């Protein structure tokens, strides 16, 4: 597998897209959903969020202590567990769940009516996976613990294969050469949706934020 095919300054030193590492907790337990051809509000609702709580927000110019996420919207009670952040870049909508309260169950529904959707999940126990769905049906799930990039990636559906090729493998001292690192699925889902963002570029994207859980 090649070196990750991301533009300069879009990955951190561990190989995680910088816009995700800026939003993530120090020990992340998070999920990133992407769907092509659906608006952010629709994607949030399909994930189970309540439309009456959606707020258009901007990332602060300077990170707050602990997070670059916006302050909770005025008048809203904090969510029981998560803050979901959604936006659209080109044809793709993304929903970032910094507490891992969402799961892969909604991926097939997000992909209904001819759409494509995927979710990358990473747990505090370093369980990492990517689920990919097309036209209302789950096509495949990639589990990093079972992934052999050289053997498995060529057999993936074309656009997912291209995404994993762009994600590449980041070498770490604790990995054998060619073994997948645990951020490969987050890079792949970003490559699939064209989310090659810096934090400053994320600040230019209109966002919806909502408590969830």
- The per-residue pLDDT for range 75-130, each reduced to its tens digit, is 445 445 678 999 999 999 999 998 899 989 999 999 999 999 999 999 999 899 99
* Domains held by the chain: number: 1
- In this structure, is residue 7 part of a structural domain? no
Range of the domain at 182: 18-212
Residue 180 is given by DSSP the state P
pLDDT band at residue 62 under the 50/70/90 scheme: low
**Contact assessment for residue 9 and residue 178, using Cβ atoms and an 8 Å cutoff:** no
- In this structure, is residue 77 part of a structural domain? yes
- In this structure, is residue 2 part of a structural domain? no
* pTM > 0.85: yes
Residue 76: its pLDDT value, please? 44
- In this structure, is residue 1 part of a structural domain? no
Q: Mean pLDDT across the chain, nearest whole number?
A: 88
The dihedral built from the CA positions of residue 144, 36, 158 and 20, taken in this order, carries a sign that is: negative
- In this structure, is residue 13 part of a structural domain? no
- In this structure, is residue 6 part of a structural domain? no
- In this structure, is residue 149 part of a structural domain? yes
pLDDT tens sequence across 40-53: 999 999 999 999 98
- In this structure, is residue 139 part of a structural domain? yes
């Amino acid at each position: 597998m090649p070196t990750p095919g991301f533009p300069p300054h879009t990955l951190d030193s561990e190989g995680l897209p910088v816009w995700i590492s800026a939003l993530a907790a120090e020990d992340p337990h998070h999920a990133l959903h992407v769907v092509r051809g659906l608006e952010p509000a629709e994607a949030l609702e399909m994930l189970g969020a309540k439309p009456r709580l959606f707020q258009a927000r901007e990332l602060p110019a300077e990170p707050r202590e602990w997070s670059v996420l916006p302050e909770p919207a005025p008048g809203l009670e904090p969510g029981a567990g998560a803050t979901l952040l959604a936006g659209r870049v080109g044809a793709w909508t993304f929903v970032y769940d910094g507490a891992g309260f969402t799961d892969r169950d909604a991926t097939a529904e997000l992909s209904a009516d001819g759409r494509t959707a995927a979710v990358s999940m990473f747990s505090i126990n370093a369980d990492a996976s990517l689920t990919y769905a097309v036209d209302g049906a789950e096509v495949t799930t990639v589990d990093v613990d079972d992934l052999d990039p050289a053997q498995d990636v060529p057999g993936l559906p074309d656009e997912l294969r291209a995404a994993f090729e762009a994600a590449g493998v980041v070498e770490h001292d604790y990995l054998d050469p060619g073994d997948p690192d645990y951020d490969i699925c987050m890079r792949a889902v970003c490559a699939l949706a064209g989310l090659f963002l810096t934090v400053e570029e994320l600040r230019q994207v209109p966002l919806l934020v909502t408590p969830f859980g």
